[in-house]
Amino acid sequence: MTMPEERTRAVIQTHEFLIELARDASIPERVRCGARFLLRHYPSKRDVLLAGRIEEHDETLPIGIIGPVFASTYTER
């Protein structure tokens, strides 16, 4: 089972990877365009950490048995 910290790290690193793809001129334009398209609505590091903070501290959220989806901290690995 993926833990909130692992999911947070994966989403943040995926965002960073999409940015790298979008900027790399050695990659075909079709791939760079696809990365830019995905980034338009992909959550930023700030968005993910804020969601984690809200989930961890808001007792009124109907999170149920799954617990928080994201964590409020990020540690690179």
On whether residue 74 sits in a domain, the answer given is no
Domain count, the chain: 1
How far apart (Å, rounded) are the C-alpha atoms in residues 70 and 7?
Answer: 6
How far apart (Å, rounded) are the C-alpha atoms in residues 12 and 20?
Answer: 13
46 close to 40: Cβ distance less than 8 angstroms = no
**Residue 37, domain extent:** 4-66
The model's confidence at residue 2, banded by pLDDT at 50, 70 and 90, is confident
What's the mean pLDDT in 23-46? Answer: 97
Q: Poorest-confidence range of 45-49, 51-55, 58-62?
A: 58-62
pLDDT tens by residue, 3-29? 999 999 999 999 999 999 999 999 999
On whether residue 76 sits in a domain, the answer given is no
On whether residue 32 sits in a domain, the answer given is yes
How open is the CA angle 9-55-13, to the nearest 5 degrees? 15
Mean pLDDT of the chain: 90
